[in-house]
Amino acid sequence: MTNFSIAGLQLALPNADNRTHIEREIALTMARFPWVQMVVLAELATYGAALDRAEPMPGPTEQFYQDIARRHRIWLVPGSLYERHQGAVYNSAPVIDPQGGVVARYRKIFPFLPYEQGVAAGTEAVVFDVPGVGRFGVSICYDGWFPEVSRALVWQGAEVIVHPTMTTTIDRAQELVIAQANAIMNQCYFIDVNNAGALGNGRSILVGPEGEVLHQAGELSEIMAVTLDLQRVRATRANGIKGLGQVLKSFRDAAVTFDCYEPQARSAALQALGPLTLPRRPA
């Protein structure tokens, strides 16, 4: 089987405990689209950017979503939650299977600094397998701006990248381009689900392996159900986009070693940019 159905839930949510709302929306989604096999929520959809709601994983909120996944027999990526671990807080996305088991947890590698203060950076690119379908990867919001994250997932075999987002700012237009670029450069599906309401400005985008937009949402609540064909990913990677660029093969076969990826590499040009701080008003 190479077809797999995903519903992205772009929900208009307040800065509050949104579990009851989310539970109801998942139930409505499954009633309307009973063929859906995976539901994806946006970044920090459950509580908003509330560091005081951080909890360990396993924990009660993750268990809440495990129960929902088991009840509806779906794969569930409930956006992300703030995870408390060994004195640090991470922005973490659990992946839950239809039996309610947690098969993976991804910690956001690039917190949105200098704004996302108090959040530690993860260190591991995370993929998981949907048996009989293919391999999926997870990234979160600002990770999308760094092509290394998507490439690291694809290097491990990811054919679909699930990308919960919480964007409220005017750079959402740039993120739409970045989502398409990630899909094109890696010949993969890129599923970018944003919040609406107080937690986001919507415009979620679901992109295919040649950069085609499967769906782009507006700025209000929207359920986006699409069916992916993973054979298209495999054919595009083998034969090239439009029968032309076989990008991943060229990357695999390249003889060059890029200096920027060497251990302890330093760039004089990047060092000259100064520290990572908030811009200040001129004196």
> Would residue 266 count as lying in a domain?
yes
Angle between helices 147-155 and 172-186 in degrees, nearest 10: 30
> Would residue 8 count as lying in a domain?
yes
Distance (Å, rounded) from C-alpha 93 to C-alpha 142?
Answer: 14
> Would residue 277 count as lying in a domain?
no
Count of the separate structural domains present in the chain: 1
Distance (Å, rounded) from C-alpha 198 to C-alpha 71?
Answer: 29
> Would residue 282 count as lying in a domain?
no
pLDDT lower than 70: segments of the chain: 1
Distance (Å, rounded) from C-alpha 142 to C-alpha 144?
Answer: 5
> Would residue 64 count as lying in a domain?
yes
> Would residue 281 count as lying in a domain?
no
pTM for the full model? 0.96
Distance (Å, rounded) from C-alpha 59 to C-alpha 62?
Answer: 5
> Would residue 267 count as lying in a domain?
yes
CATH number at 33 reads: 3.60.110.10
Q: In the beta sheet, which residues pair with residue 191?
A: 162, 206
Domain that includes residue 262, residue range? 3-271
pLDDT in tens, 110-131: 999 999 999 999 999 999 999 9
**Using the 8-state DSSP alphabet, how is residue 121 labeled?**
P
Q: How far apart are the first and last CA of the chain?
A: 62
Question: What local confidence, expressed as pLDDT, does residue 1 receive?
Answer: 65
**Using the 8-state DSSP alphabet, how is residue 82 labeled?**
E
Distance (Å, rounded) from C-alpha 198 to C-alpha 106?
Answer: 25
Distance (Å, rounded) from C-alpha 175 to C-alpha 205?
Answer: 9
> Would residue 276 count as lying in a domain?
no
